[in-house]
């Protein structure tokens, strides 16, 4: 199927391109990347490919055993790989703070931050901090993690002379859900929304955060770019809460959606490819810049979301 979707594009890549293909010939030696949700799916494939290109990868994982299995498989392919594993539960602000401290204790630079982890279509549940789980995990956890590590990235960029990159996986390509004008009201109202809308809003929040962070860093003349992306439709275990369809999707998915090799392509492209140098505040799909709809470009909405998110993490 994917052979039919190869087409010319500004980047030269297509929906059928794999993460290995889009990073072919790129030397990532000397770079350090932190990847959340690196123990399965797109995150695991991103970890594998970046390691192949010489990047030192730090895996942020909720399940240390699963993370160790991924690391061991990668080491079989790349015996010289540099991989560290740290525990991270993005739904818990205390866990995010511990993770950031543990990362800093490694005394490593930080060139690339890939906000990849997420939950999808989970039944209604509150996090330990009292926040709806999609919003807590997909947005607030990554918002806090980025806030805790962005200074490290800015310093690394200055000391290394290499541009830093923040990459956020925001899976909704054409997000039409709305965030209500009163952010406090929206936060309460999220509790009663269907899981689909809750997921969509959390991903819209990812894009809004990415865009405004990009603007802030440009104003500071920081040598760190920030972009978000849609990996495409990929049948991974993130859909396991969507029963009873999950089994069927996994069984026939390979005929209709991307495998993780293609799903990780845009992540790796935005994180590593020279074509992205200096490009910031953009949204990518199939390794090309994609135009966003009005909600995702609403700067006032982004500012209110930013202030609301700060009130949650302070």
The one catalytic residue among 180, 199, 255, 269 = 199
In terms of Cα–Cα distance, which of 141, 151, 152, 44 is closest to 98?
A: 141
Q: How far apart are CA 19 and CA 21, in angstroms?
A: 5
Cα distances from 143 to residues 14, 32, 91, 148, 251, in angstroms, run 30, 20, 11, 9, 34
116 in Cβ contact with 37 (< 8 Å): yes
* Residue 211 β-bridge partners: none
What is the model's pLDDT at position 248? Answer: 54
Buried b (16+ CB within 10 A) or exposed e, 258-288: bebbbbbbbbbbbbbbebbeebbbbbbbbbb
Which CATH homologous superfamily contains domain 2-313?
NAD(P)-binding Rossmann-like Domain (3.40.50.720)
What would you report as the CA-atom Rg of the chain, rounded to the nearest whole angstrom? 18
Tens of pLDDT, residue by residue, the chain (314 residues)? 444 455 569 999 999 999 999 999 999 999 999 999 999 999 999 999 999 999 999 999 999 999 999 999 999 999 999 999 999 999 999 999 999 999 999 999 999 999 999 988 788 899 999 999 999 999 999 999 999 999 999 999 999 999 999 999 997 544 444 444 344 444 444 444 456 677 788 989 999 999 999 999 999 999 999 999 999 766 555 444 444 554 555 555 555 578 999 999 999 999 999 999 999 999 999 999 998 877 889 999 999 999 999 999 99
> Catalytic site residue 199?
yes
Q: With CA atoms as reference, report the closest residue to 218 among 283, 164, 139.
A: 164
- For residue 264 the two structure tokens come to 């990780």
User: What pTM was estimated for this model as a whole?
Assistant: 0.88
* Half-sphere exposure in the Cβ direction for 40 (13 Å, CA): 15
């Amino acid at each position: 199927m994917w052979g039919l979707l190869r087409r010319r594009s500004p980047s030269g890549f297509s929906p059928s391109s794999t993460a290995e293909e889009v990073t072919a010939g790129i030397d990532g030696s000397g770079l350090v990347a932190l990847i959340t949700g690196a123990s399965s799916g797109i995150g695991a494939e991103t970890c594998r490919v970046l390691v192949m290109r010489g990047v030192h990868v730090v895996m942020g994982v909720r399940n240390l055993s699963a993370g160790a299995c991924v690391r061991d498989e990668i080491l079989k392919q790349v015996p010289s790989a540099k991989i560290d594993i740290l525990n991270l539960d993005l739904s818990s602000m205390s866990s995010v703070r511990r993770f950031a401290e543990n990362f800093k204790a490694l005394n490593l630079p930080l060139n690339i931050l890939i906000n990849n982890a997420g939950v999808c279509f989970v039944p209604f549940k509150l996090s330990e901090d009292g926040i709806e789980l999609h919003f807590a995990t997909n947005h607030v956890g990554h918002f806090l993690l980025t806030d805790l590590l962005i200074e490290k990235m800015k310093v690394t960029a200055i000391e290394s002379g290499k541009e830093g990159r923040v990459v956020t996986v925001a899976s909704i390509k054409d997000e039409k859900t709305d965030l209500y004008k009163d952010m406090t009201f929206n936060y309460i109202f999220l509790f009663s929304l269907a899981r689909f809308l809750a997921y969509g809003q959390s991903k819209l929040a990812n894009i809004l955060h990415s865009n405004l962070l990009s603007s802030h860093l440009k104003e500071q003349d920081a040598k760190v770019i920030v972009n978000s992306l849609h990996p495409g439709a990929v049948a991974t275990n993130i859909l396991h809460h969507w029963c009873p369809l999950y089994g069927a999707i996994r069984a026939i998915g390979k005929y209709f959606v991307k495998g993780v090799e293609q799903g990780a392509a845009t992540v790796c492209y935005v994180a590593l490819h020279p074509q992205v140098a200096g490009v910031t505040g953009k949204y990518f799909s199939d390794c090309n810049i994609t135009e966003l709809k009005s909600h995702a470009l609403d700067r006032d909405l982004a500012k209110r979301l930013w202030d609301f998110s700060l009130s949650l993490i302070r």
